[in-house]
Amino acid sequence: MFNELLQSSVLIGILYSGIRLAAPYLFAALGETVAQRAGVLDLGVDGIMLMGSFAAFYVVFETGNLWLGVAVAVAVGALMGLLMAVISVTYQAEQGISGIGLYLFGLGLSSLLFRVMIGSVKGVSGFPILRIPVLSDIPVIGEIFFNHNILVYLAYLMVPVIWLLFDKTTLGLKIRAVGHNPEAADSLGVSVNRVRYFAVIFGAAMAGLAGATLSIAQLNVWQENITNGLGFIAVALVYFGGWRPLGVLLGSLLFATVNALQLWVQVKGINIPSDLAVMLPYVLTIFVLIFASGRVRQPAALTKPFERSG
């Protein structure tokens, strides 16, 4: 019965869906990686995504301008990040609690704005499929990799960008320093709080972008709680990826591809109870986490507010 799954059209379908599904996770998890490497655990990702996705949707719904929608989503995400930074960096509130607070804030505010400003579920036309010339004509490869909307390409482009940021720039060095040993960074004249502000706001802007990817590129509708906890999975993927962009990429791809696989398993009528099939991506993620947990090291100052001693 598994022969059904081994047809080339099905395998292409699984990989294509996996790559597409991974995009919002990638934006959100890469952004969260930056915040956490600077020592701030932002559990509000899902709420920020909700605000970003609503902002993007509303702008596109009213103006039809997709890039304006993206810009506003990034700006709204950054504002949410600023709020998180004020609370957790300046006022040093417990990060886990303030993150949950931020999530509830985003969930409630986006639902309220939706009811006041739109009222019922509507659709928009989002980013179209952008076939990359030449590359998309390559058989199989072209179909899987070069046949997506532009935000999907952008999500994957962010992987090397974040890697370069961490490993090749002074800013990246500062981010890692304040997340690992803020006292040392401080004594070298790095403003710990300023770097953390940047990292949290940057991460939140990426979460806003992840929300826009959902609402104006992949689903093209908006509904209350449209993320359905996607932002929390993104936080888990940061741990999964060992706080490294490449690890986050692999984690997102694995999670999304297994999700695509289980959909195909069901659509092809392979006789597995649907409840088991939908569990598959989560079970696999937990397994990998267990095996990976021994070798990864989290930023030493994660969740610890910085206060200059003396």
Task: List interacting residues with other proteins (CB under 8 A).
Answer: 9-10, 13, 16-17, 20-21, 24, 83, 86-87, 91-93, 97-98, 101-102, 104-105, 107-109, 111-112, 114-116, 119-123, 214, 218-221, 223-228, 230, 259-260, 263-264, 266-269, 273-275, 277-279, 305, 307
Residue 200 Cβ, how far from other proteins at the closest point, in Å? 15
Tokens encoding 113: 């704005």
Residue 163 Cβ, how far from other proteins at the closest point, in Å? 26
Tokens encoding 306: 């910085």
Is the CB of 165 or the CB of 217 nearer to other proteins?
217
Is the CB of 165 or the CB of 226 nearer to other proteins?
226
How far is the CA of 176 from the CAs of 77, 180, 301, in angstroms?
Answer: 22, 6, 10
Report the C-alpha gap between 288 and 134 in whole angstroms: 37
Tell me which DSSP letter residue 214 carries.
I
Residue 116 Cβ, how far from other proteins at the closest point, in Å? 5
At residue 308, the 3 state secondary structure works out as: coil
Asked if residues 95 and 41 have their Cβ atoms less than 8 Å apart, the reply is yes
Is the CB of 98 or the CB of 165 nearer to other proteins?
98
Burial class (CB in 10 A: 0-12, 13-18, 19+), 118: middle
Residue 67 Cβ, how far from other proteins at the closest point, in Å? 19
How far is the CA of 154 from the CAs of 28, 205, 207, in angstroms?
Answer: 13, 14, 13
Report the C-alpha gap between 310 and 279 in whole angstroms: 51
Is the CB of 136 or the CB of 223 nearer to other proteins?
223
Report the C-alpha gap between 198 and 300 in whole angstroms: 19
Is the CB of 119 or the CB of 139 nearer to other proteins?
119
Residue 20 Cβ, how far from other proteins at the closest point, in Å? 7
Is the CB of 138 or the CB of 279 nearer to other proteins?
279
Asked if residues 73 and 110 have their Cβ atoms less than 8 Å apart, the reply is no
Is the CB of 228 or the CB of 293 nearer to other proteins?
228
Residue 308 Cβ, how far from other proteins at the closest point, in Å? 12
Report the C-alpha gap between 83 and 238 in whole angstroms: 22
Residue 270 Cβ, how far from other proteins at the closest point, in Å? 11
Report the C-alpha gap between 99 and 234 in whole angstroms: 14
| Residue 297 β-bridge partners | none
